[in-house]
Amino acid sequence: MDTLHESHFPHTPRPMTDQIDTLLTEQRSFSPDASFQEAALGAADLYAAASTDRLAFWADQARALDWITPWKEVLNWTLPHARWFDGGQLIVAANCLVRLLHGPRRQKAAIMWDGEPVDRRVYTYWDLAREVGRAANALKTLGVTKGDRVAIYLPMIPEAAIAMLACARIGAIHSVVFGGFSAESLRDRINDAEAVALITADGGYRRGQVVPLKRFADEAVVGCPSIRDVIVVRRVGGGEGGASETFASMTEGRDHWWHRLLEHASADCPPEPMEAEDILFILYTSGTTGAPKGIVHTTGGYLTHTTATTKYVFDLKDEDVFWCTADVGWVTGHSYVVYGPLAHGATIVMYEGAPDWPDRDRFWSMVATHGVTVFYTAPTAIRAFMKWGPSYPAKHDLSTLRLLGTVGEPINPEAWIWYHEQIGKERCPIVDTWWQTETGGIMITPLPGVTTTKPGSATKPFPGIEAELVDAQGRPMAGGGGFLTITSPWPGMLRTIWGDDQRYQETYWSRFPGRYFAGDGAKLDEDGYWWILGRVDDVMNVAGHRIGSMEVESALVDHPSVAEAAVVGKAHDLKGQAIAAFVILKEGQTASPSLRDDLRDHVVGKIGAIAKPEDIFFCGDLPKTRSGKIMRRLLKDIAEGRTLGDTTTLADPAVVSRLKEMYGEE
């Protein structure tokens, strides 16, 4: 295929795994389900409306929110900077909470939460609004004001959503850091955003163990001059003076127990009106350099996009119970645990722990207990369920389910079919939703009741989203394999990278001028269906988590024994990709199994457990181009045991054949 030749473009899209090769020959298709006809009626019009007048379509979607001042202009676009609904003012917390408060539905469940041990809590919309008001007042008494950054480092407990909404209520910008990240990762993110406060917990539960978040937070915060206050939710400790002491030692003057602050705070906190383009949050995500990027999302457009997609993709009705299994530390948790569903007044399910605790049926037992109707998870989880076998879901009544979704990585057709048969009992449509931290909300997806689905394809762009496949030169392609680009701005798009607009322009808008380039390769089939092939840049996708190759490399070379490192994602049955590291040791250092363990621990300490390399291969040389660039593509071939691709641009082609011979022998 000439258009995708390596010499034209260093990052050739190609399937992440062999499974995806089978995905490309997938012929099965599933017609829309008749029970979604009502959704279908509305949605068919949506495509027509959006293609006739895209801006009018998005303005219609924005009108579904409550605005206190109408916008003056739907879109102001000066490539690559968009302003949506400029001049408009709205109150996020009002849109997400208060809508139900003054009607008969105020005691409707907002959050049904399960802790990993058998504890359970239910917050009605009334409860939630009061807790958010209290938390907002608590932040205010600590001097947090509009525009300040607040870091949130919590387990999946209701306080995570409450903290986010409390920030939104006073106009503070939240930066949620996934609880699986290390102290060092937390510190870097706090410092980049110059957060003034950190909200954390004494710990959280994961597979029966306590994750001591407060200890990590303490370690991080000593290196964070901007942090004035640390607020600590008591999750694992008993009473004060009780077990919690072992997980949280409190620093006088800096640390405050959440429950103490809230006890004295009024539930009544007048909300800060937000301009449509005021920043709602920053969320850090991995890119192709060692340093994560602070993705900036604003208020009006983001809420419009997440609300519209929640409505049409998940077909949410008042009586639905929606469970998105993502952690709030990721964008999926922001958009489809918190903002989208709560703006709809939906009942959501939240879960703290692991899917196999206390046993491998935990998710299905929760579906049955809470009567979940719409379920949204990641392919990596589905592949694990598949491996565990059908007896676990079979133990529970899953008949309340009516719609299933996936997100985070390409889904192989076999996992799709398994999900369809074993979980959806062949009754539930599956929405495979493609989007990114940067896009804010769902971009390519089927609509239930409307779209014929094909296992492994995310199908078509959401109404109002314009995607185009291009070749290496940026020429539009009608079909075949190429690069996925977005050709016009959308409301939920990132506005910039925090503190680095230059990097924003270069990363997303320069490779194909005038287009947003998402970093993914894709194919378009003869029906115009999108098949996402995965990242074509140096970003890995490990169990649905985005990790930059360079990040792991930086962590490795930070170790005193390491001279150089190259890191690639290799195909993995369950995780999609696993991390494979090629390491050159410094003069005088000797490779050993204990050094290998040491390096793994070092990476975990620098980044977090999600970045732990599966393979560490000690070598004497790395394949490099004549200009000195490491050819990770070839290392990937080696790690996956594939025949080597084109090696003609290498400075020393012998290096790579030596590596290939040795790899796997250890």
Sole residue written with tokens 């920043």: 279
Q: Name which of 13 and 88 has its Cβ closer to ligand 7RM.
A: 13
Q: Name which of 301 and 548 has its Cβ closer to ligand 7RM.
A: 548
Long-range contacts of 212-217 (CB under 8 A, 24+ apart): 212/247, 213/153, 213/154, 213/155, 213/179, 214/247, 214/248, 214/249, 215/247, 216/153, 216/182, 216/183, 216/186, 217/153, 217/183, 217/186
Helix axes 213-221, 183-193, angle to 10 degrees: 50
Q: Tell me how far apart the alpha carbons of residues 618 and 69 are, in angstroms, rounded to a whole number.
A: 61
Is the Cβ–Cβ distance between 62 and 490 less than 8 Å?
Answer: no
Q: Which of 516, 82, 150, 546 is CA-nearest to residue 298?
A: 82
Q: Name which of 331 and 342 has its Cβ closer to ligand 7RM.
A: 331
**CB 490 to ligand 7RM: min, Å:** 15
**CB 303 to ligand 7RM: min, Å:** 17
**CB 217 to ligand 7RM: min, Å:** 23
Q: Tell me how far apart the alpha carbons of residues 169 and 93 are, in angstroms, rounded to a whole number.
A: 5
**CB 189 to ligand 7RM: min, Å:** 15
Residues at the contact surface with ligand 7RM, assessed by CB under 6 A: 285, 330-332, 407-410, 432-437, 458, 518-520, 532, 534-535, 541, 546
**CB 379 to ligand 7RM: min, Å:** 8
For 105, residues 6+ apart whose C-beta sits below 8 A from its C-beta are 125, 318, 345
Q: Name which of 449 and 548 has its Cβ closer to ligand 7RM.
A: 548
Q: Tell me how far apart the alpha carbons of residues 43 and 567 are, in angstroms, rounded to a whole number.
A: 44
- Residue 449: what residue type? G
**CB 285 to ligand 7RM: min, Å:** 5
Q: Name which of 124 and 541 has its Cβ closer to ligand 7RM.
A: 541
Per-residue DSSP letters for 31-72? PPPGGGHHHHHHHHHHHHHHHH-HHHHHHHHHTTS-EEE--S
**CB 180 to ligand 7RM: min, Å:** 13
Handedness of CA 648, 651, 654, 656 (dihedral sign): negative
3-state secondary structure of 588: coil
**CB 566 to ligand 7RM: min, Å:** 21
Q: Name which of 244 and 304 has its Cβ closer to ligand 7RM.
A: 304
Q: Name which of 335 and 422 has its Cβ closer to ligand 7RM.
A: 335
Q: For 497, phi and psi rounded to 5 degrees?
A: -105, 130
**CB 527 to ligand 7RM: min, Å:** 17
Q: Name which of 247 and 490 has its Cβ closer to ligand 7RM.
A: 490
Q: Name which of 12 and 285 has its Cβ closer to ligand 7RM.
A: 285
Is the Cβ–Cβ distance between 397 and 408 less than 8 Å?
Answer: no
